[in-house]
């Protein structure tokens, strides 16, 4: 997951390959609750692991459920209709699929519970559900604004519940209220039928189908009359299916269906293959493929897969009632930028009460890209954005995963403008590795590189690693490559000198090197410490002066240039390896300061060192590095010089980030 302040997507040129998507949020949270309410053990395969499921799991654990994980399998011991903890304060983040169903279940289970969430959750309505439960005889208080969480649920007298008349619930604000009642009311259906009636037009109907389908998997056959009346038969009891599999999330698939529809195919790949969800999905958002087809995409599907390719181009404009696919429809709003006319998405009033007011959010952010957008209480019209009119934009994401995900598709714009996604970690709600997955199937003509070159002990490693962290970029410590090559040379029994140049180059070309969370592995051996000795530094400097070795390592270094970008530190990053890098920094500090830093570093590790000797070694190494015939150490012509003798690490980082920001076309936010 990218936990950076922003993530810059360079202009993307094409897409192709296979993605396997994480589990469905809607199925995961329903299955978790049903498994908790049932007796016995349920084995859940491929459960979604994200913020929304984490809050559900934590709540169930607080209520006394025993949970255990074994790879991709989660085992849950059901409570059999009895919570072990009759008092709990539950935090449900911004997960509607946890807040609403748990409210209903806990109201019926009996106990003293508080349910709260993030500030936005306290603006998302729950009044219709609370009204239905209160009418039934469950005491529930609002702890903040009436109609919204946080809530306090007090114990209800199950025997005194008003089940003689149908329980009436409004269905026109969120279908999750009806889902919540359907999931929980089997608890009250021991000796009578329980009837629920929907008041007003029910929205998001396919989500009710998911609920009914999963209830049936847990032994409860709800009878449905149209979308108005639902009967849970007397004697209904949750029976675990034992083992249940969660299919991949169809709403998450919409970004990759959109991608396949609008990206030019990559050579050798036949569009985008999506695995984990397909034509037999029980999720209503699978119908997004119909919308994509209407826009011109070519979609083939099978039981557990989808294949998507560009068909009509530009995409065809659509005018669509999106009530049944409210989540995936946001993807259409960005695809509309590439259409041959204005696209109208209708019947989406619920967008206004989700993670943010999504109609306003989409309008504001599409507008930043340069698009013309019109909207009303329950619709949005997005006009196509012709070439020449795209503006580089920093997309505000409103802590809404879907805003972040769907706007990534704007990086395919014909003007080759980069797109900045602010607060990219908001995707953690349902798809923590969204951007990693995207990067695995897209290509850019130019992946940005930020080079940090400089002499030994200038602090370039610390600076570059921090920059990589802040930008969410890959990190190449090229000095390490030479150090590892030096070590491998010694291990092969060779002296690092010109006489063995060809043999050392062969070794370097096939270096089994891997960077793993700050550790350096050589053929699975952790050599992080071994390559950091002064002697290894000297060997690195000596092998790096051999031209054939440098050539062998060049290709390896180029391979680190992957999306979304690279920070490379070394001595010739800007001059030789990445001459086209948009920002090159040459970092220096006086020999005196560098020797002092190195001295401090060694002493703090308990390694004895003499300051004067260190300084002399350092000056000798500077002279050798600057005078070597191949790629001598010098600033690139277009490098920015940074002398950090009197700067803290933070100050240096801020300075370079400032230069980086200036080199980007985004207006500051
Ligand atoms: O029941 C569900 O799993 C959901 C129902 C939909 O909400 P509404 O019924 O509020 O539209 C949907 O937007 C949400 O992401 C998940
Ligand atoms: C509306 C959404 O979430 P929630 O389940 O919190 O309602 C969503 O995921 O788009």
Q: State which of 251, 354, 362 you would mutate to test the pocket of ligand 2, scoring each by most atoms of that ligand within 8 A of its C-beta.
A: 354
pTM: 0.94
Tokens linked to 468 = 């990589």
**Where in the chain are all domains bearing CATH 3.65.10.10?**
6-22+247-444, 25-245
- Strand 194-199 and strand 167-170: pairing? parallel
Residue 668: the pLDDT is 56
Mean pLDDT of 66-76: 95
What is the CATH code for 6-22+247-444?
3.65.10.10
User: Which one is catalytic: 285, 327, 453, 617?
Assistant: 327
What is the CATH code for 476-562?
3.40.50.300
Mean pLDDT of 177-203: 96
Which residue's CA is minimally distant from atom 1 of ligand 2? 354
- Whether 252 is in the pocket of ligand 1, judged by its Cβ within 6 Å, is no
CA dist list (Å): 479 to 341, 394, 449, 622? 53, 34, 17, 14
Q: State which of 26, 204, 331 you would mutate to test the pocket of ligand 1, scoring each by most atoms of that ligand within 8 A of its C-beta.
A: 204
Reference 174, options 81, 103, 97; nearest CA is 97
Q: pLDDT per residue over 475-487, tens digit each?
A: 999 888 999 999 9
For 71-215, list the strands marked E by DSSP: 73-77, 87-91, 112-116, 140-142, 151-153, 167-170, 194-199
The predicted complex's ipTM stands at: 0.99
Q: pLDDT per residue over 527-537, tens digit each?
A: 999 998 989 99
CA dist list (Å): 580 to 171, 243, 247, 478, 575? 57, 54, 44, 17, 9
- Whether 98 is in the pocket of ligand 2, judged by its Cβ within 6 Å, is no
What is the per-residue burial (b if ≥16 Cβ within 10 Å, else e) of 596-612?
Answer: bbbbeebeeeeeebeee
- Whether 96 is in the pocket of ligand 2, judged by its Cβ within 6 Å, is yes
Q: What dihedral angle (degrees, nearest 10) is formed by the CA atoms of 524, 528, 529, 534?
A: 120
- Whether 327 is in the pocket of ligand 2, judged by its Cβ within 6 Å, is yes
Q: pLDDT per residue over 585-622, tens digit each?
A: 999 999 999 999 889 988 998 989 999 999 999 998 88
Give just the sign of the alpha carbon dihedral 587, 593, 598, 602: negative
Contact indicator for 552, 503 with CB cutoff of 8 Å: no
The answer to whether the bond into 564 is cis (omega within 30° of 0) is yes
Dmax (CA) of the chain:
95
Using DSSP, state whether 392 is helix, strand or coil: coil
Which residue's CA is minimally distant from atom 8 of ligand 2? 327
Instruction: Give residue 201 CA to ligand 2 midpoint distance, Å.
Output: 20
Residue 413: pLDDT band (50, 70, 90) is very high
- Whether 350 is in the pocket of ligand 1, judged by its Cβ within 6 Å, is yes
Let me know if 327 is a catalytic residue.
yes
Q: pLDDT per residue over 296-308, tens digit each?
A: 999 999 999 999 9
Which fold, 447-473+564-669? Answer: Rossmann fold (3.40.50)
- Whether 179 is in the pocket of ligand 1, judged by its Cβ within 6 Å, is yes
Contact indicator for 4, 565 with CB cutoff of 8 Å: no
- Strand 12-15 and strand 167-170: pairing? unpaired
Residue 555: the pLDDT is 85
Q: pLDDT per residue over 97-126, tens digit each?
A: 999 999 999 999 999 999 999 999 999 999
Tokens linked to 285 = 């958002």
Q: State which of 22, 23, 24, 25 you would mutate to test the pocket of ligand 2, scoring each by most atoms of that ligand within 8 A of its C-beta.
A: 25
Residue 229 has pLDDT above 90, yes or no: yes
Residue 602's region, left for phi above 0, alpha for psi from -120 to 50, else beta, is alpha
- How far is the C-alpha of 104 from the C-alpha of 134, rounded, in Å? 10
Contact indicator for 205, 233 with CB cutoff of 8 Å: no
**Where in the chain are all domains bearing CATH 3.40.50.300?**
447-473+564-669, 476-562
- Whether 331 is in the pocket of ligand 2, judged by its Cβ within 6 Å, is no
Q: Which CATH class is domain 25-245?
A: alpha beta
Instruction: Give residue 400 CA to ligand 2 midpoint distance, Å.
Output: 9
Residue 199: pLDDT band (50, 70, 90) is very high
Contact indicator for 369, 393 with CB cutoff of 8 Å: yes
Ligand 1 atom nearest to CA at 208 = 1
């Amino acid at each position: 997951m990218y936990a950076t302040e922003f993530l810059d997507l360079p202009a993307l040129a094409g897409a192709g390959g296979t993605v396997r998507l994480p589990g469905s949020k809607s199925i995961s949270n329903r299955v978790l609750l049903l498994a908790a309410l049932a007796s016995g053990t349920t084995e859940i395969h491929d459960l979604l692991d994200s913020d929304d499921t984490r809050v559900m799991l934590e709540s169930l654990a607080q209520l006394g459920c025993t949970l255990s994980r074994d790879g991709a399998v989660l085992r849950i011991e059901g409570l059999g209709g009895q919570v072990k903890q009759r008092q709990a304060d539950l935090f449900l983040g911004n997960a509607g699929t946890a807040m609403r169903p748990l409210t209903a279940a806990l109201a019926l289970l009996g106990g003293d519970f508080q349910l709260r969430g993030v500030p936005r959750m306290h603006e998302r309505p729950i009044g219709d559900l609370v009204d239905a439960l209160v009418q039934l005889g469950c005491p529930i208080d609002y702890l903040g604004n009436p109609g919204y969480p946080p809530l306090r649920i007090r114990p209800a007298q199950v025997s005194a519940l008003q089940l003689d008349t149908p329980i009436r619930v409004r269905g026109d604000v969120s279908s999750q209220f009806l889902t919540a009642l359907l999931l929980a009311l089997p608890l009250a259906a021991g000796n009578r039928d329980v009837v629920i009636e929907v008041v007003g037009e029910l929205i998001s109907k396919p989500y009710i189908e998911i609920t009914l389908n999963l209830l049936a998997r847990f032994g409860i056959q709800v009878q449905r009359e149209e979308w108005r009346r639902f009967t849970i038969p007397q004697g209904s009891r949750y029976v675990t299916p034992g083992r249940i599999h969660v299919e991949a999330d169809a709403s998450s698939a919409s970004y990759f269906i959109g991608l396949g529809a609008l990206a030019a195919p990559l050579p050798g790949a036949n569009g985008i293959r999506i695995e984990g969800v397909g034509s037999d999905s029980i999720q209503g958002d699978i119908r997004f493929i119909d919308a994509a087809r209407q826009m011109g995409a070519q979609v083939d599907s099978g039981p557990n897969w989808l294949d998507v390719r560009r068909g009509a181009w530009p995409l065809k404009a659509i005018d669509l009632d999106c009530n049944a696919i409210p989540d995936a429809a946001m993807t259409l709003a960005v695809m509309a930028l590439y259409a041959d006319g204005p696209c109208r998405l209708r019947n989406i009033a619920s967008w206004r009460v989700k993670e943010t007011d999504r109609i306003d959010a989409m309008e504001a952010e599409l507008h930043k890209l340069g698009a013309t957008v019109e909207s009303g209480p329950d619709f949005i019209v997005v006009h196509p954005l012709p070439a020449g009119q795209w503006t580089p934009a920093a997309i505000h994401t409103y802590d809404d995963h879907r805003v972040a995900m769907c706007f990534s598709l704007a990086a395919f714009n014909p003007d080759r403008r980069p797109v900045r996604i602010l607060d990219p970690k908001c995707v953690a709600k349902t798809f923590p590795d969204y951007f990693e997955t995207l990067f695995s199937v897209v290509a850019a003509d130019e992946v940005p590189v930020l080079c940090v070159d400089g002499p030994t002990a200038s602090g370039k490693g610390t600076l570059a690693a921090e920059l990589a962290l802040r930008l969410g970029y890959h990190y190449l410590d090229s000095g390490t490559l030479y150090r590892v090559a030096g070590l491998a040379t010694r291990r092969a029994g060779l002296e690092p000198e010109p006489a063995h140049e060809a043999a050392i180059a062969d070794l370097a070309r096939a270096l089994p090197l891997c960077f793993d969370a700050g550790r350096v592995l050589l053929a699975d051996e952790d050599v992080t410490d071994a390559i950091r000795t002064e002697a290894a530094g000297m060997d690195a400097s000596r092998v790096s002066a051999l031209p054939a070795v440098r050539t062998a390592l060049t290709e390896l270094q180029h391979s680190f240039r992957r999306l979304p970008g690279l920070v490379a530190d070394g001595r010739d990053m800007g001059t030789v390896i990445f001459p086209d890098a948009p920002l090159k920094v040459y970092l220096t500090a006086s020999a005196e300061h560098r020797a002092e830093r190195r001295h401090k570093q060694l002493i703090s590790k308990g390694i004895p060192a003499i300051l004067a000797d260190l300084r002399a070694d350092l000056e000798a190494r500077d002279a050798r590095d600057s005078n070597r015939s191949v790629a001598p150490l010098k600033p690139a012509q277009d490098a920015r010089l940074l002398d950090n003798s009197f700067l803290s690490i933070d100050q240096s980082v801020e300075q370079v980030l400032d230069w980086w920001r200036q080199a980007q076309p985004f207006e500051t936010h």
